[in-house]
Structure 1
Amino acid sequence: MDEAQIDTKKIYERRWSILIAVMLGSIMAPIDGSIMNIAMPTLREVFHAPLETVSWVSMAYLLVVSSTLLAFGRLGDIMGYRRIYQTGLFIFTASSAICGFASNISALIAGRVAQAIGGGMLLSMAPAILTAVFPPSDRGKALGMNAMSVAVGLAIGPSLGGFLVSTLGWEYIFFINVPIGMAAFIWAQLVLPRNSVRRNERFDAIGAMLAFSLLFSLLLYINRGSQWGWISLTGVITLGIAVISFIAFILLENRQSEPMLDLSLFKIRLFTAGTVSTLLNFSAQYIMTFLTPFYLAQKGLSPSTAGAVMTAFPAVMLVMSPVSGALSDRLGARGLSTLGAAISAGGIFLMSTLTLDSPIWRIALNLAVFGIGNGLFQSPNNSSVMGSVPRDRLGIASSFLATMRNVGMVMGIAIGGAVFSNLSQYFMTQLNLTGTALQNTAFMYALRIAYMTGMALDILCAVTSAVRGRHNAV
């Protein structure tokens, strides 16, 4: 048996230890993303900063992590997934400590930018590492368990943030990452395969800058367009930068012998349909998760009760993600992901039938149905996308999948917020009611249509899942 065979055997034997190492890293970024909102009022008081400035603590992280994923994915293919992942763990952990020690709002925002760079490395490499390590027979299960760790992070973020802010102080929403990051770094150092360098290729720096410009300006426009005015001067300039960057990026990548994003991947139906499905699914998901807390507040529920009700969605996903991943290893991805998207559409439809008098158990049940659908969709879809590309393109495939997920999140919040706010104002002027009755009726009419918009996106997701094809390429 030669050295390569011995290394492959050792990697296969410790694949579940590698999964644990990746899950430890994967849980930190979603915790950090979901933990921040609960601390915003406290940060505003501590730093005596206006809300617009404080909002950049969250905005800076979202924009930078989303805009750097593609570049880190390509670097992983060139330099090795272990190296990029380990560097991301170090940067994320160190910058978390820097954020906790920040003495002013500017230093905190700068620390969040550094955190986003580390988070981008982690998010772009995790699926690539697991796809490279796990054989097709176990790949769906592994990706499903990693998706479970992301769901855990999103689920515990708000409640953990509230506890830390109220008991220990805002600094500890960042300090909490330090012991987790150190443990993840040490564990990854012990188990991640060392012979993961791919090819002696040149990194497309100009393509990376154009991709960053495209994603940063596009996400900024989507997120801030309603405040600026979609056709205001600022909005038009920002969107114009995105369009010009996109055209320049496509023209450049088509001419590059070693492109930053290999456009030939989009000729693979599984890859294209799966990434489009991810975009649609997360857009629908974030319409629901963004608007439902407002509905629960309008219903009169306390923040703690509303948080407990909302937990029904990620809690069910925790169970479904590894189960659906294991099933996809046996049954394939197309049927499961299509069924999951259809169930998700049904869950949002059920949410649209609620009234302000609906019992809490019914709301939780509807959210659970939505969680079943999303859990059933995501793991098979991720496994299908990652299994469809050549092994020397796993990094860019992983990062592009993560990019579509983040863009979908931003789109969902923007679409849901725009539909709901505009229709609320419209119904307030059209209904022949006054006082609380007018507010409640206009609120529920607008909420139902916003939910139905999310349902339409999930129906489209089911369609794109159904046409993806049957078999993986690798």
Structure 2
Amino acid sequence: MADPAGQENRWLILAAVLAGTVMGPLDASIVYIALPVIGEVFHALPSSVGWVSMSYLLIMGSFLLPFGRLGDIFGFKRIYLAGLFIFIAASALCGLAPNLIALIVLRAFQAVGAGLSMSLAPSIITAVFPQKERGRALGISAMVVALGLAAGPVLGGLLVDSVGWRTIFFVNVPIGIIAFLWSYKLIPKNGEKVKAYFDWKGSVLAFGALSAILFFASEGESYHWSALILIIGAAAVVLFLLFIRLESSIPEPMLDLSLFKSRVFSAGNGAALLNFMTQYIIVFLCPFFLQRVLGYSASRAGLTMAAFPLTVLFIAPISGALSDRLGQRWLFFFGSLLCTLSAGSMFTLSQNSTPFDISLRLAVFGLGTGLFQSPNTSAVMGSVPKNRLGIAGGVLSTTRNIGMVFGIALGGAVLNARQAFYQESAFDLAFLYGIKDAFFAALLVSALATVISVFCTQKSRQET
């Protein structure tokens, strides 16, 4: 039932919530275009500067599920506003970061704020809208998130070129303050709080395991695969096993492992993980290719890269409708296949490539991604009973976040290793060919996602 206290102002509340939550996806995408410049300022390798994004996504992947529980325990409004406050403060401090380590740590705090606000936005919208308007409101919310992702590269490029890279963080502050004051005034307090279990042990173990495996993968080459790196790799395995053991033994786990007994649920999440890995290898490395190989300005690179999110934004709603009419299987498979072909075409780019060459490849990748995502979501959510939909949605969101982080780590690791190999061979275009080899890795990852997508169909559990 909708909250009577908020129902009268529900559309204003929606606008206030969206003003706050749009900063999360906007900030996630705006940073990529600035990474080459940040790397030059702090004299960092791409694999190291990638931690500016990975620390953000790592927190989201580790804590997004339990963040939602905090709203049940302490109240949606209180936790949502706390998230906005943390995000605003961390954004201001990111803009003042004196070195790369400080920026990486502050980005993690930024992710805490974004995670708290983003995880509770659907709950607030659901609470204030009646059922007949709820789907429309949530659809507008999804569209605004997609617009934030699409606007990030263009806005980021313009800010980096005209004012400097630090402004990509400062821009959040005035928007955040307006959203905070607006939300404080309009959002009603939710009713009676409930006693909900917060799986902090599982969250910490997941964070530790993911951090260790990412450091092992992305920095191993830089540390020459020393004893320290091997110890960190072993620690990742131990922490992962402890996480699985814990989640199997508690009544309300962060990750409900029983869901993975469904072949479709497992395959759907596996395909999503690999698809988002492919996406973020390309999204992470494209700015380096455009700015360091082709010599583009940040704003020109941002405009070129906008072809990908804009195509996804246009295709995703059409894909959802086609999925309902034609079924998931072939749309799912064809979307993943297009992503694979596009990733393969990225491997053919050279120092003579034109903006059209790159935009066309990114648009095809966006077409494949848009066709893939709606049937993927439908297959995963349709494989679980209705009373497990909330948990299944949280698992899928977490899987996608982890795929993003792994994609950046893999892209940076392959670039580092292959660039070093080509430099030892006295090859003039070592950086270019390192990126090309990373794009080839994206091709292999996407091909595996395409194979797995074949196993992602069965009759919906909600229809039986």
- Deviation string 1:50-95 (CA, Å, 9 cap, x unpaired) is 7599886655434433332243245457667666544423332343
For 1:408 and 1:161, the matched residues in 2 are separated by 23
How far did residue 26 of structure 1 move? 4.0
Residue 169 to residue 411, structure 1, CA distance change in 2 (3 Å): closer
Residue 104 to residue 239, structure 1, CA distance change in 2 (3 Å): closer
Counterpart in the other structure of 2:248: 254
Q: Secondary structure at the match of 1:227?
A: coil
For 1:94 and 1:101, the matched residues in 2 are separated by 11
Is 1:30 equivalent to 2:25 in the alignment?
Answer: yes
Counterpart in the other structure of 1:153: 148
Letter in 2 for 1:325: G
Instruction: Report the number of matched residues.
Output: 457
**Which of 268, 272, 275 lines up with 2:269 in the alignment?**
275
Letter in 2 for 1:255: S
For 1:357 and 1:215, the matched residues in 2 are separated by 38
Letter in 1 for 2:451: V
How far did residue 392 of structure 1 move? 6.2
How far did residue 115 of structure 1 move? 1.5
For 2:329 and 2:192, the matched residues in 1 are separated by 32
Q: Secondary structure at the match of 2:337?
A: helix
267-276 or 416-425: which moved more? 416-425
For 2:450 and 2:126, the matched residues in 1 are separated by 24
Is 1:375 equivalent to 2:364 in the alignment?
Answer: no
Counterpart in the other structure of 2:439: 451
Letter in 2 for 1:289: V
Counterpart in the other structure of 1:320: 315
Counterpart in the other structure of 2:358: 363
Q: Secondary structure at the match of 1:260?
A: coil
Letter in 2 for 1:460: L
How far did residue 286 of structure 1 move? 1.9
- Deviation string 1:204-225 (CA, Å, 9 cap, x unpaired) is 3322322222223223333323
Q: CA RMSD in A?
A: 4.3
For 1:94 and 1:77, the matched residues in 2 are separated by 24
- Deviation string 1:313-364 (CA, Å, 9 cap, x unpaired) is 2221221123323444544544433221111112122333344444432332
For 1:328 and 1:19, the matched residues in 2 are separated by 28
Counterpart in the other structure of 1:385: 380
Counterpart in the other structure of 1:88: 83
Residue 357 to residue 177, structure 1, CA distance change in 2 (3 Å): closer
1:4-403 matches, cutoff 5 A: 4=1, 23-36=18-31, 51=44, 60-75=55-70, 84-100=79-95, 111-125=106-120, 148-165=143-160, 167=162, 172-185=167-180, 200-229=195-224, 231-297=225-291, 300-303=294-297, 304-386=299-381, 388-389=383-384, 396-403=391-398
Residue 289 to residue 329, structure 1, CA distance change in 2 (3 Å): same
For 1:293 and 1:216, the matched residues in 2 are separated by 24
Structure 1 residues without counterparts, runs of 5 or longer:
none
Structure 2 residues without counterparts, runs of 5 or longer:
none
- Deviation string 1:214-245 (CA, Å, 9 cap, x unpaired) is 2232233333233223x422212222222111
- 8 A Cα contact 2:33 2:301, kept in partner: no
Letter in 2 for 1:180: I
How far did residue 117 of structure 1 move? 0.9
For 2:375 and 2:124, the matched residues in 1 are separated by 17
Letter in 2 for 1:313: F
Letter in 2 for 1:291: L
442-451 or 257-266: which moved more? 442-451
Residue 169 to residue 453, structure 1, CA distance change in 2 (3 Å): closer
- 8 A Cα contact 2:32 2:283, kept in partner: no
Residue 378 to residue 59, structure 1, CA distance change in 2 (3 Å): closer
- 8 A Cα contact 1:29 1:119, kept in partner: yes
How far did residue 372 of structure 1 move? 0.6
For 1:275 and 1:105, the matched residues in 2 are separated by 33
- Deviation string 1:289-332 (CA, Å, 9 cap, x unpaired) is 23334444576342243333222222212211233234445445
- 8 A Cα contact 1:219 1:407, kept in partner: no
For 1:357 and 1:249, the matched residues in 2 are separated by 48
Letter in 2 for 1:468: C
Letter in 1 for 2:278: A
Is 1:467 equivalent to 2:455 in the alignment?
Answer: yes
Letter in 2 for 1:402: S
Letter in 1 for 2:428: Q
Q: How high is the TM-score relative to the length of structure 2?
A: 0.78
Residue 258 to residue 425, structure 1, CA distance change in 2 (3 Å): closer
- 8 A Cα contact 1:19 1:142, kept in partner: yes
Residue 164 to residue 415, structure 1, CA distance change in 2 (3 Å): closer
- 8 A Cα contact 1:127 1:398, kept in partner: no
For 1:137 and 1:269, the matched residues in 2 are separated by 34
- 8 A Cα contact 2:335 2:367, kept in partner: yes
Residue 54 to residue 443, structure 1, CA distance change in 2 (3 Å): closer
For 2:148 and 2:410, the matched residues in 1 are separated by 24
400-409 or 274-283: which moved more? 400-409
Letter in 2 for 1:401: L
- 8 A Cα contact 2:339 2:365, kept in partner: yes
How far did residue 188 of structure 1 move? 5.7
Residue 135 to residue 268, structure 1, CA distance change in 2 (3 Å): farther
